Chains A and B, each alone.
Chain A
């Protein structure tokens, strides 16, 4: 559905994209994960025809982006990072305006507007001016404006930035519903839990390059990353630790805690606890640190995904 090859873009001598390539199949939800400034928005902006690439090829729904931009535009819906709505208009009028931009036939548009308002949980407030809405409600209607022409492909550029948990959950449900109905979704985020929950495949982007891509399980196997069991003891002695160290290769002691590293934490956890009992160690606390996108990103780039 989307083919991107060797995409490059430079802004004032800064290489925003350094030749990225990826393919997205029909009906897939593809997550583009990366920190601020990684190149996510530039990628989405090129795919949604807002800016032109310096090099590279893009095919969207079978159309070449350079040769047939208008055919590409007809097949895509774009949820911009900004809440791009007319604040002085009601949600209803905003939907009417944005639906009109895609030349949806009037009667069909009115029906779809009602469905969209229902989907976004805003039917009761449809006649209120958007400026009276909360941030989450604005985000929801912002998404709604991108759905009226029933796009085959939906680009969502960090659609949950700065919103309340209720709206976030509703947006997740909407994305899951659209995905289930067969819409191809490209979802950019720097929230790993969103990508983990919503996306079939994830591309990790950093400094204008895709540094890894695949399913979450595929990404987990990259770099032979290990999960960690952190156990705190009340009576850990040097003697005990030395004995454990002889039997367990990959571990580290920090004060009263031992970090056990394992490729198969589920299988090894009971063995570790049995060993501790055997040595008469009194366990105060156990923490299991599983591999997630945050740790994958840290392992791949040496950087945190978000500023702490």
Chain B
């Protein structure tokens, strides 16, 4: 049986900028930062309270599974906000919203009450959007 989720992939346009966003603005920790040749690296970060889940900030670049046309399409899709890869949770969405805004994070939606608690939507530096949720106790 499957036991755990260990890696998830977020496609990014620029790894240096993604590093700054996820580490300095979201407060994630760097798990691994390994050079993979010119202009590319294996960069994974973990949520502050979930050190066992690596989020790989995967550069959309030519090589491997991406040819030039796919890179162009993927970049356009990410940039335009077509992908919403995950839901992140916090203890207090209003405090977290205030803090993230003070650090310059862009929100598509401020916190609103939902059936299960509260939800806000924010965008990373590439264009991926995430739900920031506070679940009912």
Chains A and B come from one and the same complex: no
Give B residues with C-beta under 8 Å from A. none
Give A residues with C-beta under 8 Å from B. none
